[in-house]
Structures are given as structure tokens and as C-alpha cells.
Amino acid sequence: MAHQYDVIIIGSGTAGLSLALRLAAYARVAVISKTELASGASYWAQGGIAAVLDTQDSFTEHCQDTLIAGADLCDPNAVEPIVKLAPEMIQWLDTLGVNFCKNDTQTQYDLTREGGHGKRRIVHAHDATGKAIQTTLIEHVLAHPQITIFPHTIAIDLIVANKHQPEHHFVQGVYLQNCQTEQITALLAPCTVLATGGASRVYLYNTNPDVASGDGIAMAWRAGCSVANMEFNQFHPTCLYHPQAKTLLLTEAIRGEGGFLLTPDGQRFMQKFHPQAELAPRDIVARAIDHEMKRLGVPCLYLDISHKSKQFIQERFPTLYEQCLQYGIDMTKERLPIVPAAHYTCGGIQTDIYGQTDIPRLFAIGETAYTGLHGANRMASNSLLECLSSAYLAHGKIQTVIQSPMPNQPVAHWDESQTCDPDERVVITHNWEELRRFMWDYVGIVRTTKRLQRAYHRVQLLKKEISEYYWRYRVTPDLLELRNLVDVAQLIIISALLRKESRGLHYNTDYPHSSAAFLKPTVLNPLVIRTLTEFV
């Protein structure tokens, strides 16, 4: 069968767009995006990209810091190649036109520091690095004749041939819904790539854009892929605490440039928790803030950089300076009220470093994938690096896949004949709220087995209700996202229940220590998932 495209990429973040540009040299590429091209987390990235570019730094140290932050759960075979690719990825972006900050003579990158990094190694574009990268990538993608964009189009499910015969199965393409007309079509290609970003919207309070509903992870799981380490959801320590600020992240680079974390009475406290104080790995800082807030019974703590000069703050953090002013806070003069919020999905679809999943002709890259780079806790600014490196590593493998002919298998048309228009949309809004609330309350920064079990009972109930609704009524984008969120929530809860220890981002007070018995990723395989009663 002749296909219009060689590769379907679902997602237009840094992972998806950089892969599209690399593939377009020899392939016809379709890029699917749920809303606008700049909708993903990539656009909102602040701090930067980690890369060894200073003569005083080394790949060994970047690898070592990553392994330490990952609490012994990173895969060194993923860490080393990804870290070593970093300088080349920065050079590639620079050549495309990304305007990274440089020194006065424009000869060297201005490097900043963030949590867990022993050296200054974060390349940035002031405090809006993601915007600089995405704007450039989008410009190139839009100009490329080999790339076709499908904005406002949501992927519903992967089309898998021979799904129940693992030795013969493969992905043929994807069912898509146009978010404006709600029309559903099947798009087929010899290779499909999930670059759909993370799932932090499963939590009520998070730093992520609306699209981060874990769609890729849920679709891959339903298609038969293994997922790994879903218990490790990262909470960013510093989000602005303000009634009108929904999700304003205050970059870790503020601490990298000398900002302090303070209790309401103005005392620093991070030295009590870690020798690196404010620049300890992110899991430790978020947990320390949570601990201090509970100990003191206060709704927020504070981040203060007002001891630096006004000129420095305005030049280094121009976007945040303006945004905070809009909320009535002048960060050059006063401290910023902060709380932690869900930020990054360290686990995801299990892949190798080339993005290959369990199913032939299906790849996954970026935040949706689990390559082994992040282990039990991602080090700051290693995510954009992973997006770029994985796209680079995947494109060679994809070239081979698209050259091998796809077996000709009939594809079932989307059948809505047994469905009708939903009568009570309140079921969707109510379940969105309920799911994200109990995930925040029971599966958050500090967990207990009892809380996880409570969450487990609730997620089972919601999953049943949402599944019934899905099969009975015509689908809409918000129903599809809810269905994905409940699948992802279930995977997080089961993974958390299985890990009977504390490590990195997973802290369970019933098992407060790390255990050698759990020195491996939590891998869930949909074909061999154990019976549910085992977890409760």
C-alpha cells in the first residue's frame, strides 16, 4: 500500500520537531499536534540545557552528577551517550539560529548552575530557553517541504496489526480526531513516533501546559508496550504561590545564581537537609520544603534573590521579573512566595536509547519515554538534552524501518455506530477534578501505603466509569484526555505500591529507606500485568 507519509510524529515539542527536521532530509513526515505547535512543555522551559562546554568540566562529572541525582537507578548505558552528545546538540541548535546567551565577546556560552550539577553547565536563553528553541524549530519545520503539520488534531489510539500475536504485531499508524470538527480518521505510515510529552496534569497542582495528559504513555500501554518507573514523578520545588498564578514556575537558575530558600521568619533551612543546600537534587529540595511547610503549618515558603543587584536580576530573569510584577511582586526588592508542584514524568514508555519500543514500527522519544537517563530523579536541564539526543539517535534507526516494506494488513475503520452524543458532560468534568485531587492528596511528595491503597481503590472505580462512558458516547478531546489520565494514574499508583522502599522521588514513610532489593526499574508489561488484588 502506498502511504502519503513515511513517518508520523505525534507531538510538536522539542523531541518531535527536532526529529522531524532530522528525518525530513530523506522522508515525508507528518507532525500531529493536539493544539498549536508551541503547545507543549518545551515552549515553557526556563532554565536551559545541560552540556559540558567548559574546559573545567568533563563528561565524567556530568555523568556522575546525573547518576547521583537519579539515586542509583539511572542506566549508565543511557547516561553516557546522551551526555556526550550534548555539545553537538547545542551546536546544532545554534546553527539553526537559537539565540543562546553568550559572554560579552560572544565567543562562549554563558553557563548557569542548577540543582545537582557540580559545575556551571546550563546553556540558556535568559529565563525563556524553551521559547527560543521552539520558535526556531517551528520556523524551520514550517518552511520544510517534506514536513506536513496537523495542528488541533488529537491522536486517539495506535493502530496495531496482530495485537494479540506479539511475535507478529506491529504499529500501522494512528486514529486521529480533528479537535475542531471532531471528525475521526486513520493515518497510516511505516513508522509512528510518540513524542507526546509528560503526564504531570494527573496532579491538581502542576507546572505543565494543558496538553500534558500522558496520552502517549496511555496509548502505548493500551497497544501493548511496557512502561517503566512511573512512580517517579518529579515535583519542582519552586512555583509561585499566588491566588491568580496557575502554574508559574520560578526557575532553579534563581537558586543557581545565588537565591536562597527561606522560612516565613527569614531563616535559610536547606543546609539542614543536604550539603549542597539550595542546589541539592530536586527531590531533596521539594521534600525539604514540604517538610518545613508541614512542620510550621504554613501555606508557602519563600525564594529570595533580592540581595543581588536590580540590574543583574532584570537582565538575567527578564521574563520572570515582568511576570512577577504582574502579580504585584517585585523580585528585585522582595522575596517570592513558593510551593512545590508536579513537574516532570521520569518514567514512561520503555525504550532503548534509539527510542525503540516493544512493538515494531513504534518509537517513543522525549518526556513520554523512559530511556534510563533519569533513574529515580531527573537532574535539572537534562530533559531538553534527552529530547534532542534521542531524536538524533532515533532518526538513523527510523531510516532503516521506513525502508523495509510494511506488511499489507487491512485496517478497521473507526466505528461509532453504537455510540450516541453524551447526555451528561458533567461526568467528565467531575472525574477530571476528582482524579487530580486524590492523586495530589494520596500520591504526592510524601506517600504512605494506606494513602496509595486509597488512591488505588478510587482509580479502579473511575477507570470503570470512564471506560463505560468512552464506549457508550461519541469521543471528544477532553474525554480522550481523561481516559489517558486515568490509565496513567493507575500505572503510577501500581508502580508506587510495588516499590516497597524510598528512593529518589518516591518517598513512602512505611518504607523510609532504600533497599538493594529494589535497585532496578519498575517495569509493567500489559501482557503480564499481575492481578489487581495483589496491590491492595
How many CA atoms, within 13 angstroms, populate the side-chain half-sphere of residue 422?
17
Tell me if 383 contacts ligand SIN by CB under 6 A.
yes
Tell me if 380 contacts ligand SIN by CB under 6 A.
yes
Query: Using CB under 6 A as the criterion, what x/- string covers residues 263-292 for binding ligand FAD?
Result: ------------------------------
Cell of 173: 499508524
Cell of 8: 508520523
Question: How far, in Å, CA of 440 to CA of 451, rounded?
Answer: 11
Tell me if 192 contacts ligand SIN by CB under 6 A.
no
Question: How far, in Å, CA of 536 to CA of 531, rounded?
Answer: 10
* Closest alpha carbon to 512 in 261, 338, 238, 291: 291
**Residue 235 or 511: which CB sits closer to ligand FAD?**
235
Q: Which does 233 bind (CB under 5 to 8 A by kind): ligand FAD, ligand SIN, none?
A: none
Number of residues engaging ligand SIN in binding (CB under 6 A)? 8
- Per the residue annotation, which of 282, 316, 361, 458 is the catalytic one? 282
Q: What letter would DSSP give residue 109? A: B
Burial environment of residue 223 by CB neighbours within 10 A (0 to 12, 13 to 18, 19 or more): buried
Number of residues engaging ligand FAD in binding (CB under 6 A)? 44
Contacting ligand SIN within 119-178 (CB under 6 A): none
Tell me if 342 contacts ligand SIN by CB under 6 A.
no
Name the amino acid, one letter, at 422: P
Tell me if 154 contacts ligand FAD by CB under 6 A.
yes
Instruction: Look up cell 515494531; give the residue.
Output: 360
Contacting ligand SIN within 230-269 (CB under 6 A): 251-253
Tell me if 496 contacts ligand FAD by CB under 6 A.
no
Residues 6+ apart with CB under 8 A from 30: 4, 5, 7, 8, 9, 147, 148, 150, 187, 189
CA distances from 376 to 182, 235, 351, 518 (A): 39, 12, 16, 11
Closest distance to ligand FAD from the beta carbon of 297 (Å): 28
Tell me if 249 contacts ligand FAD by CB under 6 A.
yes
Instruction: Look up cell 507531538; give the residue.
Output: 11
Segment interacting with ligand FAD, rule: CB under 6 A, options 54-62, 71-79, 98-106, 377-385: 377-385
Closest distance to ligand FAD from the beta carbon of 178 (Å): 11
Cell of 467: 471506560
Task: For 7-45, give one letter per residue: b (16+ CB within 10 A) or e.
Answer: bbbbbbbbbbbbbbbbbbeebbbbbbbbbebbbbbbbbb
Out of 22, 34, 287, 395, the residue judged to bind ligand FAD by CB under 6 A? 34
Contacting ligand SIN within 43-102 (CB under 6 A): 46-47
Q: Which does 70 bind (CB under 5 to 8 A by kind): ligand SIN, ligand FAD, none?
A: none
Contacting ligand FAD within 179-208 (CB under 6 A): 195-198, 207-208
**Residue 174 or 380: which CB sits closer to ligand SIN?**
380
Query: Is 282 annotated in the active site?
Result: yes
Tell me if 383 contacts ligand FAD by CB under 6 A.
yes
| Order of all β-strands in the sheet with 7-10 | 147-150, 29-32, 7-10, 191-194, 362-364
Closest distance to ligand FAD from the beta carbon of 361 (Å): 18
Question: Is residue 240 within 8 Å of 250, Cβ to Cβ?
Answer: yes
Closest distance to ligand FAD from the beta carbon of 368 (Å): 6
Segment interacting with ligand SIN, rule: CB under 6 A, options 80-88, 288-296, 379-387, 418-426: 379-387
Distance between alpha carbon 117 and the CA centroid of its chain, in Å? 20
Tell me if 130 contacts ligand FAD by CB under 6 A.
yes
**Residue 51 or 482: which CB sits closer to ligand SIN?**
51
Distance between alpha carbon 96 and the CA centroid of its chain, in Å? 24
How, if at all, do strands 336-345 and 301-304 pair? antiparallel
**Residue 242 or 361: which CB sits closer to ligand SIN?**
242
To 5 degrees, how large is the angle CA 49–CA 289–CA 63? 30
Closest distance to ligand FAD from the beta carbon of 121 (Å): 12
Helix (H) or strand (E) holding 362: strand 362-364
Query: Using CB under 6 A as the criterion, what x/- string covers residues 357-376 for binding ligand FAD?
Result: ---------xxx--------
Contacting ligand FAD within 290-349 (CB under 6 A): 344
Tell me if 40 contacts ligand FAD by CB under 6 A.
yes
Binding site for ligand FAD (CB under 6 A): 10-16, 32-35, 39-42, 44-49, 129-130, 154-155, 195-198, 207-208, 211-212, 215, 249, 344, 366-368, 381-384, 387
Catalytic residues: 282
Binding site for ligand SIN (CB under 6 A): 46-47, 251-253, 380-381, 383
